[in-house]
């Protein structure tokens, strides 16, 4: 018997603001493992990737962000226990660069333990997953290229 695989599509973002000439990004901490990660979540039926990214950032960080473009996508596999059976998931996550518009990290939803602003360097040190560190590095490069044009 073959292994059942579910395909999941999620979207999220790197929401940023400038503070004293430094790029600040908001990252979240989730339970039970206490991972620091970028805000992201499943795309709802009838929702575009961009709409899902803005919604997930708002729900998980309490922040409103203005879309500025696709950073990149990441892909990974994981296992979940579902109805007493192990199910393999193949997940694609599309991350967008978003400029902070308004809101407070204290207004995150209950799925998140903490949402906090960090400099890019601090965020890179905090983030739990290599692929998400690469997304933040790409976001920083996008912002740097804009400033030098």
Comparing CA positions, the residue from 41, 39, 45, 16 lying closest to residue 108 is 39
Long-range contacts of 72-81 (CB under 8 A, 24+ apart): 72/134, 72/135, 72/138, 74/131, 74/132, 74/134, 74/135, 76/131
Domains and CATH numbers, the chain: 5-148 (3.90.79.10)
pLDDT, position 33: 83
**Full-model pTM:** 0.92
pLDDT in tens, 40-93: 999 999 999 999 999 999 999 999 999 999 999 999 999 988 888 899 999 999
């Amino acid at each position: 018997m073959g292994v059942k695989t579910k395909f999941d599509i999620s979207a999220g973002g790197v929401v940023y603001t400038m503070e004293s000439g430094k790029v600040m990004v908001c990252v979240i901490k989730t339970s039970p493992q206490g991972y620091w990660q970028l805000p992201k979540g499943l795309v709802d039926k009838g929702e575009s990737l961009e709409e899902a990214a803005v919604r997930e950032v708002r729900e998980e960080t309490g922040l409103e962000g203005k879309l500025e473009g696709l950073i990149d996508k990441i892909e990974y596999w994981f296992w979940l226990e579902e109805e007493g059976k192990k199910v393999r998931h193949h997940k694609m996550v599309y991350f967008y660069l978003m400029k902070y518009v308004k809101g407070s990290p204290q207004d995150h939803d209950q799925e998140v333990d903490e949402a906090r602003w960090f400099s890019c360097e601090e965020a890179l040190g905090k983030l739990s997953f290599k692929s998400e560190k690469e997304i933040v590095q790409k976001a920083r490069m996008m912002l740097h290229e804009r400033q030098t044009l």
